[in-house]
Amino acid sequence: MACGCCGTDARPLRTGCSGNCARCAHPCAASRPAPAAKSASSGHTFSIASSPTAIERLRILSGDARYDLSCACGTQGDERVRNERGDRWIYPVTLPNGGTSAFLRTLVDNRCSSDCAYCPLRSDQDVRRCLLDPEEIAALFLDYLRQRKVFGIFLTSSLSDDPDRSMARMIDTAAILRRRHGFRGYVHLKILPGASDAAMQEALKLADAVSLNLEAPTQRRFQVLSQRKDYIADIVEPMKKLARWTSREGPFSRVGLTTQFVVGAAGESDFELVRTMGALYGKLGLSRAYFSAYQPGGGAAHLPGERNPASMGPDPLTREHRLYQSDFLLRKYGFSADEIPFGEDGNLVLDKDPKEVWAALHPERFPVDLDTADKFELLRVPGLGPVFVDRILKIRRSGGRIRHLAQIGDPWRLNRALPWIKQSA
């Protein structure tokens, strides 16, 4: 029987169900307060929802999309304020190439059949469930695009019993935008665990970037987070296929491939995370990894991050930031995973950035002569990033010498480099 509210199949309640779960209730059930009714089979009370508008469902789903981050680090304060004051589905993001933009970001469906212990949307939780169909998402996005409020779209979804069915909503939305409306801007699509090769390849045809979230660095850690998903079959093997298809020699070489880790939920160490990152970059050619510091309170009681929040470290957000810095060292600074320094507990030092910690452990490499050092050596200097290093090399190529830091940038920003460099007299 079709739901009169949203048009999707309505299914009978299971014995003992409250009526708010993804498997039994109408997809739009519990999306807003409603009169109470009783299940004839269980006697339990549940809500009967009237039809929520597309904007109301977008408000619910975009709020739920905060659990699936494009980037949790590096956005400016004014961007965060704009996002909080305005439409929550307009999200400032950092692209895989380092640029920034504003996207419409939302779940297309929050009806979930999975058991991800860190996620407040997992199947056993009593949350508002709803969905948007592809036509609705496309219309909403095009309206914001015409207003120049967004320049791209990021679509993700909860996981149903049929991953391909969940992915179809994202793929169909992208197809409407690309093929019917000629949209040539940025499209990011989530690859869901367990999706078929055909579904993944269809997403790759339409997207500029795709992501498949590892969530944890090892199979042992992942099993703490989920018992229903198979880490190897549902995530690792599909990630390898995606990496092959998006490689320089692959049929979808123009498409970026990213992933996300939940930091702290499963009790993993930074060493484990960085080692896995190194393999992803070195062996699979991943475009970028993202990190989301676990926030206790919404997860299952058995999680290490719930039982012992102190196990996540004294400052989870600083830990997340240090992981992003380590990620940059691997991707942009020529470091290998083996060179990233850790404390005795296997975690990154929180009160200093990892490049400064590495420099202090290698005094034989300093001071670095700005007039003779190669790019690799310059990138090892704390306080010097790729932009400053490129300026140094440009001055040297034109026959100049570095006599003062003002030649390459703001001296105040470069003060950190002073203990580590040697300048011309």
Q: Per residue in 389-411, pLDDT tens?
A: 999 999 999 998 988 888 898 88
Identify the pLDDT of residue 65. 80
Amino acid identity at 93:
V
Identify the pLDDT of residue 94. 66
Residue 262 lies in a domain: yes
Among 32, 50, 68, where does a domain finish? 50
Identify the pLDDT of residue 233. 96
Asked whether residue 120 carries a pLDDT value surpassing 50, the answer given is yes
Same-domain check for residues 198 and 287: yes
Instruction: Specify the CATH number for the domain of residue 403.
Output: 1.10.150
The residue-averaged pLDDT of 336-355 equals 96
Asked whether residue 196 carries a pLDDT value surpassing 90, the answer given is yes
Identify the pLDDT of residue 311. 75
Same-domain check for residues 260 and 296: yes
- pLDDT above 90 coverage of the chain, percent: 60
Residue 206 lies in a domain: yes
Lowest-confidence segment of 170-179, 252-261, 311-320 by average pLDDT: 311-320
Same-domain check for residues 30 and 117: no
259: nearest Cα among 275, 230, 244, 281: 281
Same-domain check for residues 278 and 402: no
Please state, in angstroms and rounded to a whole number, the distance separating the CA atoms of residues 38 and 47: 9
Residue 349 lies in a domain: no
Asked whether residue 43 carries a pLDDT value surpassing 80, the answer given is no
Instruction: Specify the CATH number for the domain of residue 265.
Output: 3.20.20.70
Same-domain check for residues 232 and 88: yes
Please state, in angstroms and rounded to a whole number, the distance separating the CA atoms of residues 71 and 93: 6
Same-domain check for residues 335 and 287: yes
Contact call for residues 369 and 409 (beta carbons, < 8 A): no
Tell me the pLDDT band of 172, cut-offs 50, 70 and 90: very high
Contacts with 68 (C-beta within 8 Å, 6 or more apart), sequence order: 107, 156, 190, 213, 260
Please state, in angstroms and rounded to a whole number, the distance separating the CA atoms of residues 126 and 110: 12
Residue 357 lies in a domain: no
Residue 119 lies in a domain: yes
Q: Check residues 36 and 195 and name the one with the higher pLDDT.
A: 195
Same-domain check for residues 109 and 148: yes
**What residues make up the domain containing 187?**
51-339
136: nearest Cα among 89, 99, 100: 89
Same-domain check for residues 70 and 214: yes
Among 306, 339, 372, where does a domain finish? 339
CA distances from 263 to 191, 215, 290, 359 (A): 20, 8, 10, 26
Same-domain check for residues 71 and 196: yes
Q: Check residues 27 and 300 and name the one with the higher pLDDT.
A: 300
The residue-averaged pLDDT of 39-63 equals 66
The residue-averaged pLDDT of 201-226 equals 96
Same-domain check for residues 410 and 301: no
Identify the pLDDT of residue 125. 85
Q: What angle do CA 35, 40, 42 make, to 5 degrees?
A: 100
Helix (H) or strand (E) run with residue 210 in it:
strand 209-211
292: nearest Cα among 315, 312, 263, 270: 263
Residue 395 lies in a domain: yes
The residue-averaged pLDDT of 80-84 equals 40
The residue-averaged pLDDT of 106-128 equals 88
Asked whether residue 31 carries a pLDDT value surpassing 70, the answer given is no
Identify the pLDDT of residue 310. 77
Asked whether residue 144 carries a pLDDT value surpassing 50, the answer given is yes
The residue-averaged pLDDT of 45-60 equals 71
Same-domain check for residues 23 and 79: no
Identify the pLDDT of residue 403. 86
Identify the pLDDT of residue 128. 87
Asked whether residue 34 carries a pLDDT value surpassing 70, the answer given is no
Counted domains in the chain: 3
How high does pLDDT run on average in the chain?
84
Same-domain check for residues 199 and 60: yes
Residue 190 lies in a domain: yes
> What's the predicted TM-score (pTM) here?
0.82
Please state, in angstroms and rounded to a whole number, the distance separating the CA atoms of residues 245 and 257: 10
187: nearest Cα among 240, 119, 134, 113: 134
284: nearest Cα among 252, 323, 258: 258
- Residues forming a β-bridge with 37: 46
Asked whether residue 388 carries a pLDDT value surpassing 50, the answer given is yes
Tell me the pLDDT band of 354, cut-offs 50, 70 and 90: very high
Identify the pLDDT of residue 35. 42
Tell me the pLDDT band of 75, cut-offs 50, 70 and 90: very low
Asked whether residue 82 carries a pLDDT value surpassing 60, the answer given is no
Residue 352 lies in a domain: no
